[in-house]
Amino acid sequence: MDFSISQDHQMLADSLRRYFSDKYPIEVRNKAAYSAPFHSPEVWTDLAELGVIGAFIDEDHGGFGGAAQDIAVVFEEVGRALCCEPLLGALMGARLLALSGQDQAAEDIVAGTARAAAAIFEPGVVCNLGAISAEARQLGGEWRLFGHKNAIYGGPGADLVLIAAHAGGKIGLFLAQSPDMQAAPMIDGGGIGDLVMDGLPAACICEDASAMIEETLDLARIALCAEANGAMDRLIAMTTEYLKQRQQFGRPLATFQALQHRLVDMVMELEQSKSITIRAVASFGSDDQARHVAMAKNLIGRAGTKISEEAIQLHGGIGMTWEYAGSHYAKRLVMIDHQLGDRHDHAGRLAAMG
Amino acid sequence: MDLEYSAEEIAFRDEVRQFLAENLSLEIAAKVDAGGELEKQDMERWHAILNAKGWLAATWPVEYGGTGWSTVERHIFSEECALHNAPRLVPFGLSMLGPVLIKFGTEEQKREILPRILDGRDWWCQGFSEPGAGSDLASMTTRAVRDGDDYVVNGQKTWTTLGQYANKIFCLVRTGTGGKPQAGISFLNVDLDTPGVEMRPIKLIDGGHEVNEVFFTDARVPAANLVGEENAGWTIAKYLLTHERTNIAGIGFSLKDLERYRRMASAMTRDGRKLSEHPIHAAALAELEADLEALQISNLRMLANARDGAASPIDSSLLKLKGTQLRQDILALMRSARGPDAAFWDESPANTNSDLPPHADHVAPAYFNNRKLSIFGGSNEIQRNIVAQTLFR
């Protein structure tokens, strides 16, 4: 038994942490997070040069990683820094392009010269790929897409958008170039897109893509869990620090036992979250993948929300302010539960697995 | 045992309903229902409508322009207002300063200030909390030093809700030193256009502007603006914070939000089935409904205690604790019902033309904004301390 990460992973984590702590203060992050283009092109270039995107796919497709552990290492640092760059879109896009044999496009994503996003789900369909209703039809020898895709993370400004749609009785994967979509900031920062397709031209890159999409979704869920772990770790540290320095009734808040116990419960939730993420990472690619990823996403949905709510409450009014970095961490941790199926959706999946 | 309102109370409720049906504009009710922020003039217009009817100051005695309503009637009125999506009343003049003046003010202060609260000439805001004095309010340090007929005020207040609309502020200021920190506090009214008073906005977690900080730099305030005796402000503040808590459980808001949730859940699908038929959502809704049913009865029991002069000191703390927890739980369920689209965000209020897709709405900002419920008005930790101190006395 050995729960330590490899030297290479430690180096990747260290270099990312150093980059974020030197170049990515909360003011830089907030400036990018809430207004178009919802990220920082400079930071994006830096991250690509640091090899962050390359860690998402293997050597055969222009990357140098691609294992679940690679992804977890990157996203934990992303979460700790509250980075709002469209890395989830890049992860899903690069994986789907690589799995579909679109090697050149995948290399462009890794190099940071093109941005990708995945458009899988639809209003009312948050977790169950089989329930989507978008369709692809061949018109005049060209594929055209019809339907409505939402929750396209990193969609605004993406060059390559990978779209799931029914065709010929299967769910295929289609590639559209810079489709025009409704773009908005997310309340927790970063860009989200909404795409109404009424004959959108696209290339079919895989006719039977269900398995690769499910695999990519599970990997993206692992990424979100790792991101949450980094953000929780940081938010708990901020809360601890605040309780130590904030004085009320003539003594630090940290000396009140009722508050100490609540911090202990937050730490317990974080340890559980780290453990279930380790479990999901180890099971990726095995028969237990779906079960353990669903467990992780459910547990972390609960833990992230609880830790956010407690962190705000323990800070009092300060925790409610835009100016305080902790409020942005809290928003991210609550809203992670809304991505790729929430705690209820994954509890339902687990129950259905029996 | 009789859980029902009396015939007179039911008649009163019907009268309130009819009044709301005839006087609350659909446009304003729709804004409230959408969960967006109201504009200043929306609130002022509603105050004027209620004032014309004589129903604005529910807690004041009739002689000062109040309604003279009983505790139960006040409860019925506030619940019906919430259920019909009436704008919330701005509490600072009506529920805070007004009752304080009626109890502690001079006749001159009552004659001068109370009518201006009713007719909307004055919009008051509250200057209690300071950066270093939140739960521990008595540690506040804003100083007022007597100089001739004036006090010279220096210091900083914070979390001043809707101060951007106000022209006056009532403050706790430190006028005495030595002894217990509670002993040297006074209650002072200040015109916001006094030189040396500056209001700055605080942006909140949801991007909204509803609270402010207020800075006092050598601001000269007439000593006649003192309410009550010098150094007796703590007693007044305690009275203000505890005297009128009929609506503290927010029952009407919870009823309304659960109704919105049911509407939402029956109109939405989730992965191939109606959200209202999703077993986990249905079970969560059922539990919240049970909580709310019980809380309504708890609220009525405590109202009856108050009516009979048998209120327990812990009643309002318990109602605040459970009421705020429940409202926050309902808002969390609404947020999760909205799924990934809850993330869509823009800073404009719900009532303006928004670029958001029609399936996005304000459930996430409302959820984050209402984390305040367990922080303000005496944090839930302070409420627990009050209850514990009573239980273990």
Residues 308-347 of B with CB under 8 A from A: 328, 332, 335-336, 338-346
A140 CA: distance to closest CA in chain B (Å):
32
Are A151 and B343 within 8 A, CB to CB? yes
Tokens of A289: 């993948």
Residue B245 pLDDT class (50, 70, 90 cuts): low
B204 vs B211: CA distance, rounded Å: 8
Quote the mean pLDDT of chain B.
92
| Alpha-helix residue ranges (DSSP H) falling in chain A | 7-23, 26-33, 41-49, 68-80, 87-99, 103-111, 210-245, 257-283, 289-315, 325-336, 343-353
pLDDT in tens, B68-84: 999 889 999 999 999 99
* Beta-carbon separation of A187 and B365 below 8 A: yes
> What mean pLDDT comes out for the span A207-223?
98
Largest Cα separation within chain B, whole Å, is 75
Instruction: Say whether pLDDT at A286 is over 90.
Output: yes
Chain A 105-134, residues with CB within 8 Å of chain B CB atoms: 121, 123-128, 130-131
Mean predicted confidence (pLDDT) in A171-175: 98
With an 8 Å Cβ cutoff, are B371 and A347 in contact?
A: no
User: What is the tens place of the pLDDT at every residue in B144-197?
Assistant: 999 999 999 999 999 999 999 999 999 999 999 888 999 999 999 999 999 999
In B54-179, alpha helices (H): 71-83, 91, 98-104, 107-118
pLDDT score, position B359 = 45
- Distance (Å, rounded) from C-alpha B309 to C-alpha B299? 15
Q: Are the C-beta atoms of A151 and A339 separated by less than 8 Å?
A: yes
In this prediction, residue B353 carries a pLDDT of 43
Of A65-79, A297-311, B112-126, B249-263, which gets the smallest average pLDDT? B249-263
Separation in Å, CA B315 to CA B2, B307, B383: 20, 13, 10
pLDDT digits (tens, 9 = 90+) for A320-340: 999 999 999 999 999 999 999
Please report which confidence band the pLDDT of residue B356 belongs to, taking 50, 70 and 90 as the band edges: very low
> Does the annotation count B79 as an active-site position?
no
Return d(Cα B330, Cα A209) in angstroms, integer: 38
B window 172-231, beta carbon within 8 A of A? 202-207, 211
Among candidate residues B300, B303, B304, B299, the one with its CA nearest the CA of residue B320: B299
Rg (CA), chain A: 20
Q: Which residue in the set B135, B268, B280 is minimally distant from A344, CB to CB?
A: B280
Residue B21's CB is within 10 A of a number of other CB atoms, namely: 9
Torsion of Cα atoms, A209 then A210 then A211 then A215, to 10°: 100
Give the whole-angstrom CA distance, residue B103 versus residue B228. 9
pLDDT band at B246 (very low <50, low <70, confident <90, very high): low
User: In Å, how far is B71's CA from the nearest CA of chain A?
Assistant: 31
% chain B with pLDDT above 70: 95
Query: Could you identify the residue written with the tokens 């009275």?
Result: B239
Give the residue ranges of DSSP H helices in B338-379.
363-369
For chain A, what's the residue count? 354
Average pLDDT in the A281-287 region?
A: 98
pLDDT of residue B346: 75
Chain A nearest-CA distance from B365, in A, is 8
Smallest CA–CA distance from B211 into chain A, residue = A321
Residues of A in contact with B136 (CB under 8 A): 248-250
Residue B377 has a pLDDT of 86
Task: Quote the pLDDT of residue B360.
Answer: 53
**One-letter amino acid of B372:** K
- Cβ separation of A313 and B380 shorter than 8 Å? yes
What residue of B is the nearest CA neighbor of A151?
Answer: B340
**d(CA B274, nearest CA chain A) in Å:** 9
Q: What is the ipTM of this complex?
A: 0.97
- Tokens for B323, please give them: 């009421």
Give me B266's structure tokens. 């029956």
* pLDDT the model gives residue A5: 92
> Cβ B371–A125 below 8 Å, yes or no?
no
Would you place residue B347 in the very low, low, confident or very high pLDDT band (cuts 50, 70, 90)?
Answer: low
Residue B244 near residue B99 (C-beta atoms within 8 A) = yes
Interface test with A, best of B331, B345, B347 (most A CBs within 10 A): B345
What pLDDT score was predicted for residue B137?
93
Inspect the interface and report whether the beta carbons of A124 and B279 lie closer than 8 Å: no
Q: In which band, very low, low, confident or very high, does the pLDDT at B120 lie, cut at 50, 70 and 90?
A: very high
Cβ <8 Å between B332 and A347: no
Q: Which of B4, B107, B244, B381 is catalytic?
A: B244
- pLDDT at res. B244: 57
Mean pLDDT, residues A247-274 taken together: 97
Lowest-confidence segment of A28-37, B35-44, B324-333, B340-349 by average pLDDT: B340-349
Determine the pLDDT at residue B310: 87
Q: Residue B349 above 50 pLDDT?
A: no
pLDDT (tens digit, 9 = 90+) per residue, B321-335?
Answer: 999 999 999 999 999
User: pLDDT confidence of B354, banded at 50, 70, 90?
Assistant: very low
Q: With contact defined as beta carbons under 8 Å apart, do B125 and B119 qualify?
A: no
pLDDT at residue B311, rounded to an integer: 83
Mean pLDDT of chain A: 97
Hey, which residues does A206 pair with through a beta bridge?
A173
Q: With pLDDT > 70 as the criterion, what percentage of chain A qualifies?
A: 100
